[in-house]
């Protein structure tokens, strides 16, 4: 226990609790939607939402079907190692990270974990968002993409703020 008692300790854990909770909620949401898609979009059914269709497909590869000929154990091993590295970095960095960076890391990690868990079941990732002009994707893919963009923007903003502080007399 540190000076300040248990409340001080809780304050130090808050960013990590936020990280775990955010990842857990987003993973559960993604896996729930994938389960719905597998159940309600089976037999080549689709739902037209205008710009996008809900259409069930399965991706044995990684991003955009790349590596679909690779053994699933290899894809799982490599992605598992990458996720472990990202989780370790996020865990260590979460205490000191500005909130936008922490949120972005949690969202990327959630997408990676959700797709990993989905793939672990049968060697394929469940995709259900289809545009016709872009490979079919899923919620976890959106998490990874938007989280990476947010992370990049947050890092640029932090770098710009640091340079601004250094140029002040």
Write the CB contacts of 116 (distance below 8 Å, at least 6 apart in sequence): 76, 79, 80, 83
What residue ranges in 20-147 does DSSP mark as E strands? 46-48, 53-59, 125-130
Locate 135 and state its tokens: 């490979």
9 is annotated as an active-site residue:
no
Distances (CA, A) of 136 to 9, 10, 71, 140: 45, 42, 21, 12
Q: Which of 43, 48, 118, 141 is catalytic?
A: 141
Cα(44)–Cα(46) distance, rounded to whole angstroms?
Answer: 6
Q: Which of 43, 48, 118, 127 is catalytic?
A: 127
Cα(63)–Cα(81) distance, rounded to whole angstroms?
Answer: 16
Write the CB contacts of 126 (distance below 8 Å, at least 6 apart in sequence): 34, 37, 38, 56, 58, 118, 138
Cα(101)–Cα(93) distance, rounded to whole angstroms?
Answer: 9
Catalytic residues: 127, 141
């Amino acid at each position: 226990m540190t000076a300040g008692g248990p409340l001080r300790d809780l304050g130090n854990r808050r960013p990590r609790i936020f990280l775990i909770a955010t990842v857990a909620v987003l993973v559960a949401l993604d896996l729930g939607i994938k389960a719905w898609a597998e159940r309600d979009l089976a037999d080549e059914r689709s739902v037209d939402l205008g710009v996008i269709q809900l259409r069930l497909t399965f991706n044995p590869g990684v991003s955009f079907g790349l590596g679909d000929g690779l053994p699933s154990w290899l894809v799982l091993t490599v992605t598992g190692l990458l996720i472990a590295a990202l989780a370790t970095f996020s865990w260590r960095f979460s205490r000191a990270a500005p909130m936008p960076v922490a949120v972005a890391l949690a969202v990327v990690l959630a997408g990676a974990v959700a797709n990993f868990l989905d793939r672990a079941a049968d060697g394929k990732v469940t995709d259900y968002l289809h545009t016709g002009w872009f490979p079919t994707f899923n919620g976890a893919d959106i998490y990874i993409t938007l989280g990476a963009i947010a992370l990049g923007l947050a890092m640029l903003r932090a770098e710009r703020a640091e340079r601004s502080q250094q140029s002040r007399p």
